[in-house]
Copies of this chain bind each other. A is one copy, B any other.
């Protein structure tokens, strides 16, 4: 399937389609019209048709979408039909919380290593995976295929670590450190900046109060 030249906006919406189709599957729904899907997802039916047409359609006039088929095809587009070995760098609270998220593994995101700088943590296990020292990381990366590195280190260590990852061939970084990483163009960085998300909330709270005090 050819999926180049798809706009970023469409790609951002795909995981949401995937989630809703997964819910429909759980409810044993076999097919759904774009109108019904539209009501469920609070987007217009024409947007749904347009989005899915990017990938060759999937829908049939008068029949709607085959839920199972569409779920599987979107899964393929999202790369969920292969296993992605991941490592976590930073075994603090957030790192351990992510390590304990068993839902990721169900979608093929398989944790294969956890690293930290704190010697107290060495050898402790999270979900059966022993925490190793960050100094052992380059050797580990030579021996083990890793698709995704999760950065849950403090921001002052994150930049240096990103460089080490890039030098060792890592092409995808899930960055939770509150900093922008400078990486080469062929390295994909997906940022989760939690405090910026909180600030968006507080901005909206302020707006709400201003409007209601008037």
Contact = CB atoms under 8 A, between A and B. Distances in A.
- Report the interface size class on chain A: 35 or more
B15 A195 contact: yes
A77 interface: yes
B192 A204 contact: no
Contacts of A80: 199, 202
Interface string A172-190: 1010001010000010101
B172 A204 contact: yes
A186 B206 CA distance: 13
Interface string A144-184: 00011000000000000000000000011010001010000
Contact of A174 (B96, B201, B206): B201
A139 interface: no
A148 B205 contact: yes
A198 B11 contact: no
Contacts of A94: 97, 101
A122 B199 CA distance: 30
Interface in A43-76: none
Interface in A1-34: 3-4, 11-12, 14-16, 18-19
A196 interface: yes
Contacts of A120: none
A180 B43 CA distance: 13
A207 interface: yes
Interface string A63-107: 000000000000001111010100000001110111011011001
Contacts of A206: 77-79, 82
A101 B100 CA distance: 18
A199 B18 contact: yes
A148 to B, nearest CB: 6
A4 B211 CA distance: 9
Contact of A197 (B3, B190, B195): B190
Contact of A14 (B41, B79, B203): B203
Contacts of A190: 197-198, 200-201, 204
